[in-house]
Structure 1
């Protein structure tokens, strides 16, 4: 499947409006994504891997200048600004 996948654009655009570290619940993130997050996002920390340009969800927070740090036991994800990222 080629081309742009807009599903995670709202998450990217939301993060672009943030200037520091933010923490969201999985439910809050799911509300930003049309159709919600897939079940794997709730089960596997690997879904939140950073630097995986092959997956549109990983690109969404990277394009906004953040890395994702999930705490699935608490149902939250911390987005931390990348060092040296120019907004």
Structure 2
């Protein structure tokens, strides 16, 4: 049927003009483009959700470490014992 060389608009127009491209080819190209766009949107949405999840986990981890384990600025100061 069709392959990736038909994705160029000028190529499609020329092939249609000279009768080398049929209606089924356009339907095939349309299906492939729709599938490509849907998969691209799903990939972008997955990346957004994943990055937001990482951001929330990072914030929660940092907040939990600072509050529950008392790892504030005081704990990193060296202790000096006076005799």
Higher strand share: 1
The TM-score, its normalising length taken from structure 2, stands at: 0.21
Determine which structure has greater relative contact order: mean sequence separation of CA pairs < 8 Å that are 6+ residues apart, divided by chain length.
Answer: 1
The TM-score, its normalising length taken from structure 1, stands at: 0.21
Higher helix share: 2
Larger-Rg structure:
2
